[in-house]
Structure 1
Amino acid sequence: MSVPVYLRVAIPSPLRRTFDYLPPQSPPAAAALQPGIRVRVPFGRQEVVGVLLETGTHTDLEPGQLRQALALVDDTPVLPPDLLQLCRWVSDYYQHPLGEVVSTALPALLRKGEAADPGGETVWGLTAEARGLPETAFKRAPKQAALFRALLARGQLGRAELEALELSRNAVKALADKGLVSEQTRPPTPPARADDPLREAPLALNPEQQAALDQLRYQAFNTYLLEGATGSGKTEIYLQAIQAVLSLGRQALVLVPEIGLTPQTIGRFERRFAVAIAVLHSGLTDRERLQAWCDTASGRARIVIGTRSAIFTPLPEAGIIIVDEEHDPSFKQQDGVRYSARDLASVRASRQDIPLILGSATPALETLHNAMHQRFQHLRLTRRAGSARAPQIALLDIRRLPLQEGFSPAMLAEIEATLARREQVLVFINRRGFAPTLICHDCGWVAGCNHCDARLTVHQYPPHLHCHHCDHQRPLIQQCPQCFSRQLQQVGLGTERSELFLQQCFATTPIHRIDRDSTRRKNALAKVLEDVQRGDPCILVGTQMLAKGHHLPRVTLVAIVDADSGLLSTDLRGPERMGQLLIQVAGRAGRAERPGRVVIQSHHCDHPLMQLLVTRGYQAFARQLLAQRQLSGMPPYRYLALLRAESKRPENAIDFLTEARRLAQQLQPASPQLHYLGPLPALMEKRNGRFRYQLHVNAAARRDLHRLLQRLCRQLEANPLSRRVRWAVDVDPQDMT
């Protein structure tokens, strides 16, 4: 009699457990039951797709309680062993259900049971009927005419090619509705030869760059912190390191913080390398994301460029992982599985025995701390590549000065002088919209969000009030709802207001606003940057989107209108973020042969941290912050986790966290090695109609923290109070608000 086999399956569920099933009715061969394949199973009243973790001959359930799996979806694993192990690590470390971690690691279409290899890229081509038409067939529809001519010339066009040629997807649909265009499949690009990966020759390196490159070792794990001033040539080191990896027949994964950086990164990589490059970010359709994922998993794509979630991409021939702008907080997922892609890159590189490069001009304090204690190898680039020189930074004390829409006379004079030299100006204001506050001058009423503890931001294009936390919007009012006065004042600065003011001051100069609102349309950011690259005098007004990685060679003045918000922040990481942002923004100035200048307006020019940052640079500034963190017992000197709870009724969240603290203290009483703070309201207590509270757990040893959290989460999941709230554990939190 054969021993029964049970399937242990990870199912996307908030329950912190796996589920056992009997094999399908037509039992597959034992060799087919490989961990990492997808299995279609009944779950409650639904059918879901899970991932097989293991098979066994023992289960805690009675035979009558076991349900039978419906079918195996795959012949071979979609999650290879290394990624399955990474998912287990993520589940254990971040205290999150394994089924949801595994689901996060898969593209959306694979979660729904679609084939793991679509077999080629979806493209559009002309039908036989369309090929018989003359080129002048669409005189009255210029967009359709442009698409028709491009298809006649090229035969087929994919999504990326349509975007590059600025051809309309609506035109594709219009011609498809007429039966003139059809969807087709283009065969996958075969892998390029490892001995000839280049399309153009690498640039010559300066001595610092060459010394950094020479220290890289490609046959074993090591973490390299590549700290280089903005414009110092970090990307060229990435490119030459990838060249070495490709020559060994291996793949490279490059993580960038935001979608906005991927087009320019891709362009530079495509000009350099004659290999298939896969791109993974949230701006892709589900079908495009699956195609890129499969190209990488099959080895067809030799370079992968992506945002945070690309860390879960299969790399059968992994050779190197690079995390650009490693300090950026967007590498930390803030909901669902709260993982850090930077930290996962370290775990994955270690397990695959490959090098990891963390690049930044302003490393995170945790990264710098690891380098100082020689856990990471510290590579430094202290000067800019080529003939470019570091910009001069000047503080402009605006106390008692007359301000026009936030601009001092001295700042306006700096802008005017720069434009007179036919150079470009970047004005940095880290607040979008027209004004952050609408207030009644007669009674003091302030326009607030009904769903959040936040003020509504005034927008003028189009006119409306907008909450940037829950996305609530309402029309812009003309009368106070409290006293009916019409004396409503729009207080504070936003990018829209600054753009309008600068247009009035410099009427003949083009003004380009770059923020989340102005770049919503596809290719909008790329188009603006393309205009700026022409070099004509102009002013860019923007938020932190402008601070990250953009090469703007004609910008010689960076004007920072308000540098004080980070200094006054109540967030643990507020000063660190302020310093990083100011240095990153300052790095946009003087990146070519012309010298750059940075002018920072502040009411607190004599603040010790501001003085340290401007006079001695980021290294001295970061070391001072590390000393403060050590005195206060905060990361990276101790280990932190937040237990977050939210509910429409605040007492539910408070009661849950009070119970959580009681249970935690039973498991591990408070001591110098492990202490608790809370429950406390979040800095924004109410958001999107829910009240949010936190319990802080601070430990001297990482092992003690995780041992406590594992036991505590099991008890909380079974506690009746947990059903009244949404709760989550945030390990190594980056956002304390």
Structure 2
Amino acid sequence: MSDPIPTLHVVHVAVHTPVHSGVGVPLSYTHSHPLPPGTLVRVPLGTRQLLGVVWPAPQDAAPPPEHAKLRAIEAVMQGLPALDTTWQRLVSFAARYYQRSVGEIAMAGLPPALRDMTAEQLAKRLQPPKPKKPSKKGAAATAAAAQQAVDNCLEPSQDHSESIALSAEQQSVFSQIIQNPGPFLLYGSTGSGKTEVYMRVVQQALEASPQAQALVMVPEINLTPQLQERFESRFMPMFGAQAVVSMHSGMTDVQRLKSWLAAHTGAARIVLGTRMSIFASLPGLKVIVVDEEHDPSYKQQEGARYSARDLALWRGHACQAQVILGSATPSLESWHASEPASSGGPARYLRLHMPSRIGAGALPRVRLVDMSQQPKKTVFSQPLLEAITERVQRGEQSLILLNRRGFAPVLYCADCNWKSDCPHCSAHQVFHKGDRTLRCHHCGYTQRVPHACPSCGNPDILPLGKGTEQLQEELERLLRNVQRPDGQPARVSRIDADTTKLKGALQEQLALVHSGEVDVLVGTQMVAKGHDFRRITLVAAVQPDGALFSSDFRAPERLFCLLMQAAGRAGRDAAYVSDQGSQPEMWVQSFEPQHSVFAALRQHDYPAFAAQQLRERQDAGMPPYAFQALVRADARTQETAQAFLRAATDAARQGQLPCLDDVFVYPPIPMAMQRVANVERAQMLIEAADRRALQRFLHAWQPWLHWVRGQPQHKGVVRWLVDVDPLSL
């Protein structure tokens, strides 16, 4: 009698399928027994073996045809708890809303090291490390360390929440958060103590349940270390050495895997991270904080173009976690959502206000300099230079903001009008004087600075415009005879992407600023937000006018937020300012000092600025009063890219897609940065007054986009993508 044939079970698995494959749903495999959704498995796909996540079977899933030969799951990743239902729902929603495949989003939420591991490697990784035998020489030190660890473990009985007394505003806000479900928009001026409120809310949630976890997001990697230090010093004595972990792209694959495992298993109670951390597996999630919620860094600009801020709101609702959006300059979408509905109904977010700085510190006085009244080619106006000099002589620090790195944006020949254009992009190569190179900041193409004009041979090629490198050099020249109180010459430092390439370089430079060894700091936006510089009493924006006349309707909002955040770096330590007998100042050099952006900045009046911008957007039918998506196409020629987009529009009309009458499809145009790395780029804007109508249309359009892409006349298209809720046009 022959052995019975074992029953095979069909299992649906989400794997990372190419975006242009048209396969956006989980694939079917077989296994000897059913596997619960959320289980990690290794599966074959083509000639490769990939990590996948077992996914719930669709409600309308039909059994595979009898003749279908399904491939078997290669291995089950044993030892890990399954990813929970809430995480699966988050991935499904993100894939559906941002028009991507479930597998792509799911794999983006897992650490790279885990995606590349075999089941055997994972099992070995999950084994507890064998304790090392201490040498005789280090035995005494080890014993002392062990005793110290025991002593530290006894410390948590102390009430750490009393280490910092809350101000009346902080206490009021904290009480409202505890008493309401949220979501909340915490609108607090720079230096008002928003971080302490976050920490109190997190502490309250973690103490209420031993399984509770919190996610705290920041927009920039460089803001993570200082926040991590504060959270570790507060919470590690209370909840253990593994209580706080970080997640961001600056970590190694091994570090990210370790943090992910700690969060997934519940060992980590608090995760601090950038936008990628929104997909962290946190089975006990009770609090989500999105600090500097207005920052565009929360929007992913490659691959799946999701907004971590918006997903945080969805995830908080799905798992009944409190969500706190915090900013001194909220995004206009969040500000609008925190106002009562036009129908008189309640606002979608509860707005909480903390207008005062901790320690009664005053916001800086804003001083505008009309550059049209200054001599031509002036970089630093005389009044600003005198103010910086005065600060140096008193031992105070100044911050000079210019959001453009390098020495000059372009080299120029006056004889033949040659410019240092990038041969691969629609952009100039930026002149970097330090290493005498021309560098494209879009494709990375780098070459040496020519000794003469490549076009006409003129040896006098000149830099046009200013970058942070040139500002540093100019300040060092202007302040060469200025002395600090200790008699030493003034010290000028620069922090931007060029000076912080090496590991640890940013922390070293920030330490010099905090210690007072730097008198004038020149930097880009990376130093204009989130940092707590105690000795800075003057901030200056030297060339902010470019954003005032941008074609992007969001440009004024971004400029105002950047300047307000930069102003917030001045005068944060009220006691220091008082002891110095100083007054914090924000200087703005502009050829348009009467612009409404600067008028609101002068009064530190974000509500007035927001009201004016929202009126303009409502009149123009722009977000948040409308909803947008971009379809972008990359091709070898601009004509090919635009032809694909036109054909896609024609296909939508011929297919009579649902909600076609409720959306407006604009004609395709070249992107602002038309060519990058020898690839031409075009885009097409889709707009609708109703979010659901836009989503229904995009979902129905996806198969047609794939069909159009597959036609022979569109083989020149390199790739296409849909960007829902774009931040730049």
TM-score, with structure 2 as normaliser: 0.88
1:272-311: CA deviations, max 9, x gaps?
2223201111111111111111111111111110111111
In the alignment, structure 1 segments of 5+ residues that lack a partner are: 133-148, 158-187
3-state SS, counterpart of residue 443 of structure 1: coil
Percent identical: 38
Shift in Å at residue 67 of structure 1? 2.2
Task: Give the 5 Å matches for 1:3-402.
Answer: 5-14=9-18, 15-24=22-31, 27-28=32-33, 30=34, 33-54=35-56, 58-74=62-78, 77-114=81-118, 115=122, 118-119=125-126, 201-217=162-178, 221-249=181-209, 250-273=212-235, 274=237, 275=239, 276-373=243-340, 374-402=347-375
Shift in Å at residue 121 of structure 1? 9.0
Shift in Å at residue 108 of structure 1? 0.8
The reply to whether residue 725 of structure 1 matches residue 718 of structure 2 is: yes
Change (3 A) 1:123 1:561: farther
Shift in Å at residue 652 of structure 1? 2.2
1:42 maps to a residue whose letter is: P
1:50 maps to a residue whose letter is: G
Shift in Å at residue 9 of structure 1? 1.3
Alignment-derived partner of residue 403 in structure 2:
430
Alignment-derived partner of residue 509 in structure 1:
490
The reply to whether residue 677 of structure 1 matches residue 666 of structure 2 is: yes
Alignment-derived partner of residue 497 in structure 1:
470
- Cα pair 1:435 1:493 within 8 Å, conserved: yes
Alignment-derived partner of residue 619 in structure 1:
607
Shift in Å at residue 252 of structure 1? 1.0
2:431 maps to a residue whose letter is: V
Change (3 A) 1:119 1:3: closer
3-state SS, counterpart of residue 533 of structure 1: helix
Tell me whether 331-340 or 73-82 shows the greater mean CA deviation. Answer: 73-82
Shift in Å at residue 54 of structure 1? 2.9
Tell me whether 662-671 or 255-264 shows the greater mean CA deviation. Answer: 662-671
**C-alpha distance in 2 between matches for 1:530 and 1:298:** 35
Alignment-derived partner of residue 545 in structure 2:
564
Tell me whether 609-618 or 544-553 shows the greater mean CA deviation. Answer: 609-618
**C-alpha distance in 2 between matches for 1:608 and 1:116:** 61
1:235 maps to a residue whose letter is: T
3-state SS, counterpart of residue 666 of structure 2: strand
Shift in Å at residue 498 of structure 1? 0.7
The reply to whether residue 654 of structure 1 matches residue 642 of structure 2 is: yes
**C-alpha distance in 2 between matches for 1:488 and 1:195:** 66
1:733 maps to a residue whose letter is: P
Task: Give the 5 Å matches for 1:576-725.
Answer: 576-593=557-574, 594=577, 595-615=583-603, 617-666=605-654, 667-668=656-657, 673-719=662-708, 720-721=710-711, 724-725=717-718
3-state SS, counterpart of residue 386 of structure 1: helix
Shift in Å at residue 578 of structure 1? 0.4
Tell me whether 47-56 or 343-352 shows the greater mean CA deviation. Answer: 47-56
**C-alpha distance in 1 between matches for 2:130 and 2:352:** 44
- Cα pair 1:7 1:52 within 8 Å, conserved: yes
- Cα pair 1:195 1:247 within 8 Å, conserved: no
- Cα pair 2:660 2:697 within 8 Å, conserved: no
Shift in Å at residue 665 of structure 1? 3.0
Change (3 A) 1:120 1:306: farther
**C-alpha distance in 2 between matches for 1:441 and 1:597:** 39
1:696 maps to a residue whose letter is: L
Change (3 A) 1:42 1:152: farther
- Cα pair 1:403 1:409 within 8 Å, conserved: no
2:195 maps to a residue whose letter is: T
**C-alpha distance in 1 between matches for 2:391 and 2:165:** 32
TM-score, with structure 1 as normaliser: 0.87
**C-alpha distance in 1 between matches for 2:315 and 2:502:** 35
Change (3 A) 1:155 1:282: farther
3-state SS, counterpart of residue 276 of structure 2: helix
3-state SS, counterpart of residue 54 of structure 1: coil
The reply to whether residue 415 of structure 1 matches residue 408 of structure 2 is: no
3-state SS, counterpart of residue 540 of structure 1: strand
Shift in Å at residue 126 of structure 1? 9.7
2:692 maps to a residue whose letter is: R
Shift in Å at residue 715 of structure 1? 1.6
**C-alpha distance in 1 between matches for 2:130 and 2:449:** 44
- Cα pair 1:6 1:58 within 8 Å, conserved: no
Change (3 A) 1:532 1:210: same
3-state SS, counterpart of residue 650 of structure 2: helix
1:59 maps to a residue whose letter is: P
